C-alpha cells in the first residue's frame, strides 16, 4: 500500500495555476501512506475563497487515497507575456502560506520566469 500511495503522491502535480491573471492560491501538504508527504501549489481564478481551492483539491486527492491539509494561502499575479509571477498576500481563513516555499515550487515549474514574493499586500 505504501508503494501505491507513493506512486499516487508522485502523480500529483506540484503546481497547478491559471495561465494568466491575478488569483488566490493555497499551499497544500499532501499525505500518502506512512510518512510520505509533499507540498503543492493550487491557484485559480474561479475560486471566490481560498477554501474553494482547498476543498476541490482535497476532493480530487481523496479519490486517489491521499489526504491533505492547507498550510495557508495568498495571491498570485501571473503575467506570462512578461514571464513573471508575484506571490503575495494571505488567506483570511487559512493564514499566510510560506511564500518562500511557494516561490521555490513555482520556480521549478517555470524555470525561465522571474518569480518574486512579498508578505505585504492582499
Known catalytic residues are 50
24 labelled ligand-binding: yes
Contacts of 84 (CB under 8 A, 6+ apart): 77, 78, 113, 114, 115, 116
CA–CA gap between residue 66 and residue 5 (Å, rounded): 7
**Phi, psi dihedral angles at 97 (to 5 degrees):** -70, 160
Residues making up the binding site for substrate: 24
Annotated binding site: 24
Amino acid at each position: 500500500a505504501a508503494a501505491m500511495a507513493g506512486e499516487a503522491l508522485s502523480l500529483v502535480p506540484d503546481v497547478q495555476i491559471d495561465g494568466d491573471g491575478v488569483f488566490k492560491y493555497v499551499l497544500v501538504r499532501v499525505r500518502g501512506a506512512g510518512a510520505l508527504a509533499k507540498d503543492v501549489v493550487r491557484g485559480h481564478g474561479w475560486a471566490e475563497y481560498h477554501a474553494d481551492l482547498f476543498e476541490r483539491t482535497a476532493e480530487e486527492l481523496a479519490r486517489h487515497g491521499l489526504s491533505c491539509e492547507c498550510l495557508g494561502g495568498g495571491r498570485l499575479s501571473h503575467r506570462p507575456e512578461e514571464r513573471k509571477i508575484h506571490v503575495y498576500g494571505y488567506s483570511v481563513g487559512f493564514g499566510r502560506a510560506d511564500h518562500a516555499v511557494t516561490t521555490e515550487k513555482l520556480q521549478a515549474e517555470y524555470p525561465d520566469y522571474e518569480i518574486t514574493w512579498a508578505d505585504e499586500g492582499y
